[in-house]
Amino acid sequence: MATKSKKPPVAVDKLTETQAKVELVRLALEIERHNEAYYNEDAPKISDAAYDELRKRSDAIEARFPGLVTRDSPSQKVGAAPSGRFAKVPHAVPMLSLGNAFTDEDVTDFVDRVRRFLKLGENDIPAIVAEPKIDGLSLSLRYEHGELVRGATRGDGFAGEDVTANVRTIADIPHKLKGRNIPAVCEIRGEVYMLKKDFLALNKRQAEAEDTVFANPRNSAAGSLRQKDVSVTASRPLKFFAYTWGEMSEMPAKTQFKMIEWIEKAGFVTNPLTTLCDSVDEVLKFYRKIETQRAKLGYDIDGVVYKVDRLDWQERLGFVSRSPRWAIAHKFAAEQATTVLNDIEIQVGRTGALTPVAKLAPVTVGGVVVQNATLHNEDYIKGIGNDGQPIREGVDIRVGDTVVVQRAGDVIPQIVSVVMDNRPRDAQPYKFPTVCPACGSHAVREEDPKTGRPDSVRRCTNTLACPAQAKERLKHFVARNAFDIDGLGDKQIEEFFTDGLVMSPVDIFTLEKRDGRSQKKLADREGYGATSVRNLFAAIEARRTIALARFIFALGIRHIGEGNAKLLARHYGTVEAFRAAMIAAGAGDDSEAYRDLNGIEGVGTVVANALVEFFKEPHSVKAVDDLLGEISVQPAEKAKTDSPIAGKIVVFTGSLEKFTRDEAKATAERLGAKASGSVSKKTDYVVAGPGAGSKLAEANKLGVKVLTEDEWLALVGGA
């Protein structure tokens, strides 16, 4: 029997509209099938060239019949012209964060709290769903009558960014839900992420193109999703795990685990490692298993999430603050990796501190490609601790060493040990510089007045003319807790300082005026435009009025952190009084102004001397006066002295339910108390919320009075 030859497709320009409609449906289904094989199964069934031909034909038909384009069209996965900023969209159901557990005891406490809240018997352990905690970008997908209508990021939990066009380019996200009896309104939530291998390949391409290289897969995924040009998002290998939901007009199942199964049937990718556990032992066993598999997974995770299985129990348990009572994240301990120390670089900070930074052969540690790690100071390199005692068995660190790197708190990389068996024979002890690498001035170690030993930090003595210090002080000046100028971050300060546009704080506030007189406008610089420059000038203008405490902190005076800045602001009240007192204190230790300064509770000699030295320098006073000519400093609100907590030291701990930690501290300080971060014999009150741990234990040990949130509110009169 003869084989029937395959009929060639009708040329696009010969298609009728009816034929085109049928052809587009066929092409959409075929392209979707190949997308599934390529992206999800990693098993493409046709060549790239054949796949491209399918896409080209579909695009050509849509170009001839634009009225046939629908939201399911393959072209909609590539997107449209660049748009403006993403619109903000409210979440019908808030996307709240999870509380954290770090130990087995924390997990046991979580289950016990659930059991007690539900009034279950001591041996009645609720079923718990355990799933890997994906390190990606949270996303909420809204479907109406089965059709995808919106994709939004988490944002602040109550409103996120509308990234619908970008979401449509992700192969793991269906445009139409599968199955029958789909709820009229259905919000599916999960995590956008990037596979490790895809991340490394993308970074390689970015580097070759001299384009932005991403720090880690999570940032890469987030940056890729938030592209204004949808075609850029479409070109990035983003994936999506679905694991929860938001608004639902009706619930397809009655348990968390069954809901995950339903979500998968509806067309989503769910994590195959998700497990239903019937005891605390099973939960912890699952955690250990996932922890050992962590490095081998194709994607990054930073812990395990536990959720009460029964949905009616979830509803009864409800929420505390911004976290559900029925779920918790069990975070992993800091991950370690081995790599080679290629060099040690010295960085100079705003106070002249010379900080050594390890330059490492790139290594992935806990989902982050680490190339730098802190070495703290020269004693740390020598293997000596802050107390002068040996650390790492007294082993020093040398260029060429094989070292073990750890991300402290999974954030700041640091070298924790040296693999001595791998030390090169020609490796020499590191000689810490005695001159500043930025300006060539002497770098010295001052004597610590508390210990009588040399300070652990070596500092550049050229505080006035050292360019590195000046630049770092400017970065500090615009930081979040100082002037907090939107659009003027470290990158912009580096650029403006290098080009001589901003050399001191006052230059920031004269930038617009000088730009108006300049032949080369900011808007003409690479990476800028009229809109971005206008926004920058508006942000600067908005910071011409600032609170006194922020102003003092922004000056970048050594030893003056946020706490001391608040103490000084409350004591002196106005910037005029503060300036006059600091200059007067420079007359000598026996001056009334110095005694007053040194007598402020919490200030002390070290801080007082740092302030005096700063204001003794005419250059510093001129910089302050120049700045005051451009801005307005608000007087500080005087702390009450007649409140029941005036002069007391208060520590807040646990998950506070009736106010945030910042609100609690602000109230305490306004009423004349000091909000401390640690418990000591001097502590007067510890205010403990649910989940209070070591600080509560220390308070009980020291006999410090412990208050509940209600008792605290009663004490301060509801303020």
Question: Is 693 strand, coil or helix?
Answer: coil
Burial of residue 176 (CB within 10 Å: 0-12, 13-18, 19+) is middle
Cα separation of 203 and 135, whole Å? Answer: 18
In this prediction, residue 334 carries a pLDDT of 64
- Give yes or no: residues 551 and 532 share one domain: no
Domain boundary among 543, 576, 611: 543
**Residue 665 maps to which CATH number?**
3.40.50.10190
Structure tokens at 133: 């905690």
Evaluate whether residue 85 is within a structural domain: no
- Give yes or no: residues 439 and 473 share one domain: no
Structure tokens at 407: 């991300």
Cα separation of 706 and 696, whole Å? Answer: 8
Evaluate whether residue 454 is within a structural domain: no
In this prediction, residue 292 carries a pLDDT of 73
Tally the domains of the chain: 6
In this prediction, residue 646 carries a pLDDT of 85
Question: Do 277 and 287 contact (CB within 8 A), yes or no?
Answer: no
In degrees and rounded to multiples of 5, residue 161 shows phi and psi of -95, 135
Evaluate whether residue 559 is within a structural domain: yes
Cα separation of 98 and 306, whole Å? Answer: 10
- Give yes or no: residues 474 and 377 share one domain: no
- Give yes or no: residues 275 and 347 share one domain: no
Evaluate whether residue 1 is within a structural domain: no
- Give yes or no: residues 305 and 180 share one domain: yes
Structure tokens at 107: 């997990």
In this prediction, residue 706 carries a pLDDT of 92
In this prediction, residue 42 carries a pLDDT of 31
Evaluate whether residue 450 is within a structural domain: no
**Residue 502 maps to which CATH number?**
1.10.150.20
- Give yes or no: residues 469 and 414 share one domain: no
Count the Cβ atoms, other than its own, within 10 Å of residue 165: 20
pLDDT digits (tens, 9 = 90+) for 181-198: 899 999 999 999 999 889
- Give yes or no: residues 137 and 247 share one domain: yes
- Give yes or no: residues 138 and 53 share one domain: no
Q: What is the CA radius of gyration of the chain?
A: 30
In degrees and rounded to multiples of 5, residue 616 shows phi and psi of -75, -25
In this prediction, residue 413 carries a pLDDT of 85
In this prediction, residue 23 carries a pLDDT of 85
In this prediction, residue 39 carries a pLDDT of 33
Q: Which stretches in the chain have pLDDT values below 50?
A: 1-6, 37-44, 47-49, 77-84, 409-410
Structure tokens at 640: 């009450």
In this prediction, residue 455 carries a pLDDT of 81
- Give yes or no: residues 584 and 700 share one domain: no
Structure tokens at 195: 């596979």
- Give yes or no: residues 222 and 120 share one domain: yes
Evaluate whether residue 644 is within a structural domain: no
In this prediction, residue 152 carries a pLDDT of 93
Domain extent, residue 690, equals 649-715
Cα separation of 443 and 466, whole Å? Answer: 11
Contacts for 455 with CB less than 8 Å, ≥ 6 apart: 445, 446, 447, 448
Evaluate whether residue 488 is within a structural domain: yes
Domain boundary among 410, 444, 478: 444
**Residue 375 maps to which CATH number?**
2.40.50.140
Residue with tokens 């703290």: 376
514: left (phi over 0), alpha (psi -120 to 50) or beta: alpha
- Give yes or no: residues 432 and 482 share one domain: no
Domain boundary among 543, 575, 593: 543
133 is catalytic: yes
- Give yes or no: residues 627 and 657 share one domain: no
Evaluate whether residue 609 is within a structural domain: yes
Size (the chain), residues: 719
Among residues 7, 88, 119, 133, which one is catalytic? 133
Strand 239-248's sheet: what is its strand order?
A: 147-153, 137-144, 185-193, 239-248
